[in-house]
C-alpha cells in the first residue's frame, strides 16, 4: 500500500513528494525521529475528512529515510485506531492513477 508519490521536480537539491496524513499530523514525529529535512508546501483536505494530502520537498540525501517514514506511518495510523487509512490511500492513489495525464 502506498501513501505517498514522488512528484516530478527540477531541483538539484530536493525532491517533491505528495503524501497522505491525518489531521493530527502523525507523520511529523516520524520525520523528525528519522532526521528528515522537509519543506512543507500546500495542503488539501475535504471538510468531512480527517485526512490531508500534503505537498512537500525533501532533500535528495533524505529521500530513503522519507520513504521509510511513510511506510512506518501506515503502522502508526493503525496503532492510533485509524483503520480506514489504507482504504483512503488506495482510493486516492487509484483516482490519481486514473486521472494521470488527463489535464
43-78 b/e (C-beta count within 10 Å ≥ 16 → b) = eeeeeeeebbbbbbbbbeebeebbbebbeebbebbe
Model confidence, pTM: 0.89
Q: Give the pLDDT of residue 23.
A: 95
pLDDT by residue (tens digit) across 2-23?
999 999 988 999 999 999 999 9
Mean pLDDT confidence for 13-42:
96
Could you give all domains of the chain from N- to C-terminal order, each with its CATH number? 4-90 (3.30.1370)
CA distances from 70 to 6, 12, 48 (A): 12, 22, 24
Q: Give the pLDDT of residue 97.
A: 83
Q: Do 38 and 5 form a contact (C-beta atoms < 8 A)?
A: no
Mean pLDDT confidence for 18-46:
96
Amino acid at each position: 500500500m502506498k501513501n505517498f508519490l514522488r512528484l516530478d521536480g527540477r531541483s538539484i537539491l530536493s525532491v517533491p513528494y505528495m503524501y497522505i496524513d491525518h489531521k493530527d499530523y502523525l507523520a511529523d514525529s516520524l520525520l523528525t525521529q528519522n532526521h528528515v529535512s522537509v519543506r512543507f508546501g500546500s495542503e488539501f483536505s475535504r471538510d468531512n475528512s480527517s485526512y490531508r494530502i500534503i505537498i512537500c520537498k525533501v532533500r535528495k540525501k533524505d529521500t530513503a529515510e522519507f520513504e521509510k517514514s511513510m511506510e512506518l506511518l501506515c503502522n502508526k495510523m493503525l496503532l492510533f485506531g485509524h483503520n480506514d487509512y489504507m482504504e483512503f490511500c488506495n482510493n486516492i492513489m487509484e483516482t490519481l492513477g486514473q486521472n494521470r495525464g488527463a489535464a
